[in-house]
Chains A and B, each alone.
Chain A
Amino acid sequence: MIKIINLYKSFNNFVVLQGVDLEIYDGETITIMGGSGQGKTVLLKNIVGLLKPDKGKIIVDGIDITTAERKVLLEVQKKFGYLFQSSALFDSMTVFENIAFGLRNYNLSKEEIEFRVKLYLSYVGLQGIENKYPAELSGGMKKRVALARAIAYNPRYVLYDEPTTGLDPQTTEVISDLIINLQKKLNVTSIVVTHDLKTALKVSQRIAFLSEGKIVSILTPQEVLKSEHPLVKEFVSSSMINI
């Protein structure tokens, strides 16, 4: 379980998060929604320990990562899989090496690594591209390879940063289905950050709305559509126009 308590983060006097409180339960998929620049990615990077908050606590399975030593933090980070908005594939490595990178910490045999790379590539619907470099892949393929890399070592938590941004509707559907399947098959806890309401409604059990550095509302997908909260209402109506 992840517990975020009174989290504050600012950059050069520009306050991004101001008192975020959120509990993420084991096995659920929760989506954090909000407009651009509201601090969704900053929150996600704080959860995984890539950014250090100014104030507040983030407790992951009983360990407060905001005060943890580097060694402990690295161990906690192994519990996370992170799908970056930009995919963040290692451009000097092949697809195989990218996916195998996270597995190098687990003392697996060569055969086991090869098996897992192929398995997770087939899981994201990409076979036979092991020897290609990221520069040779399309945006959607990169996202899927990055997803395979993020889940190849069976993390307990998978964090998705704008998983469908910049993708065509078909690939968006593929990624959404992958998030659902992952949660069903592997029972991972997923945190999705997006401003795509359609994806959020499809994949999540709960949707948290982030505005002005705070979580202003946490609702189920059904409640979102009926909500009278001005921000949620505005979000739904503008998303419906886009749909």
Chain B
Amino acid sequence: MKKIFIGLGEYFLFIYEIIVSSFLPPFEKQIFIYEIYKIGVKSLPVCLMTSFAVGMVLGLQTGMSSISVLNEPAYIGTVVTFSLVKELGPILTAVVLVGRVAAAITAEIGSMRVTEQIDAMYTLGTDPIKYLIVPRVLAFTIVIPILTIISNIIGITGGGIISYLRFDIPSTIYIRDCLDYLYLNDFFHGLIKSVIFGIMISTIACYKGFYTEGGAEGVGRATTSCVVMSIVCLLIGDYFLSSLLIALGIG
């Protein structure tokens, strides 16, 4: 128990250092742009594939379920859109990025820690939090809502294709179903969640890497721990975050 509290304290202190370092010049522009490319552009195909597939499954299941209940495929667009925009879009994009990016960040920074490269940075007059961590956390936090929006659009398109091919619902009706009940608040509900997920995942990944101990085995342990902790925090945090946003009247 004591270890958990020490770890939590260390994690929040780490976040505090990231915030302070973010406002101190110089800003590592080149690394930041490279990280945007690495995290954003390179993750796009996986995010698109998963959200397209999920959109199709949602369309199919909603159609079949509404046939059982209402004897006709109704509200497919509405269900697909609400599910994706408010819940599945942010969470799926975050889970994909945990596997594709966060694990890699922990492994990379962890390897640098155990091979004394981070210590070397200090002795060369460079703050590794500023040089390694801040650009990654910022890039991650900026990229994740953009990827979420793109994933949402592709997912809704997937649902539309299925509702047309399987249930003969014309695209105009599907689009009307999608937009009729959707308010800007619902859109922001998902977007705010994805930004907070981004901060959560990137700081966990960097923290786990930065405090890696114990050689190659330690890097493996840190990477596993990053993935497990990120996904657990993501799913538990999602419930509380959703409750809070609903209580605040956002979505």
Contact = CB atoms under 8 A, between A and B. Distances in A.
A120 B126 CA distance: 20
Contact of B119 (A84, A101, A105): A84
A68 B18 CA distance: 19
A132 B126 CA distance: 23
A102 interface: yes
Contacts of B112: 90
Interface in B92-146: 112, 115-117, 119-127
Interface in A67-104: 70, 74-75, 77-78, 80-82, 84-86, 88-91, 101-102, 104
Interface of B: 112, 115-117, 119-127
A86 B124 CA distance: 16
Nearest to A101: B124
A82 B117 contact: no
A86 B123 contact: no
A58 B119 CA distance: 18
A149 interface: yes
Interface stretch (A42-50, A121-129, A173-181, A229-237): A42-50
Contacts of B121: 101
Contacts of B117: 88-91
Given A88-B116, A150-B123, 14 more contacts: A48-B122, A48-B123, A50-B123, A78-B125, A80-B123, A81-B123, A88-B115, A88-B119, A90-B112, A102-B124, A104-B126, A105-B124, A105-B125, A159-B123
A50 B119 contact: yes
A85 B112 CA distance: 15
Nearest to B116: A88
Contacts of B123: 48, 50, 77, 80-82, 150, 159
Contacts, number: 54
Nearest to A102: B124
Given A49-B122, A77-B122, A86 B127 contact: no
Give the interface centre of B117, B120, B127 by most chain A CB atoms within 10 Å.
B120
B119 A74 contact: no
A105 B115 contact: no
14 contacts: A45-B119, A50-B123, A80-B123, A82-B123, A84-B119, A86-B115, A86-B116, A88-B116, A89-B120, A90-B112, A91-B115, A91-B117, A105-B124, A105-B126
Give the interface centre of B115, B121, B124 by most chain A CB atoms within 10 Å.
B124
Give the interface centre of B115, B116, B122, B125 by most chain A CB atoms within 10 Å.
B125
Contacts of A90: 112, 117, 120
B116 A102 contact: no
A61 B112 CA distance: 30
A150 B123 CA distance: 8
A16 B125 CA distance: 27
A5 B3 CA distance: 32
Contacts of A74: 122, 125, 127
B115 A149 contact: no
Contacts of A78: 125
A82 B122 CA distance: 10
A177 to B, nearest CB: 23
Pairs A-B, 6 closest by C-beta atoms: A78-B125, A82-B123, A102-B124, A88-B116, A88-B120, A105-B125
A102 B125 contact: yes
Contacts of A86: 115-116
A72 to B, nearest CB: 12
Nearest to B111: A91
Interface in A15-52: 45, 48-50
Nearest to B108: A92
B30 to A, nearest CB: 11
Contacts of A149: 124
A129 B112 CA distance: 23
A4 B120 CA distance: 22
A150 B112 CA distance: 18
A45 B119 CA distance: 9
Contacts of A104: 126
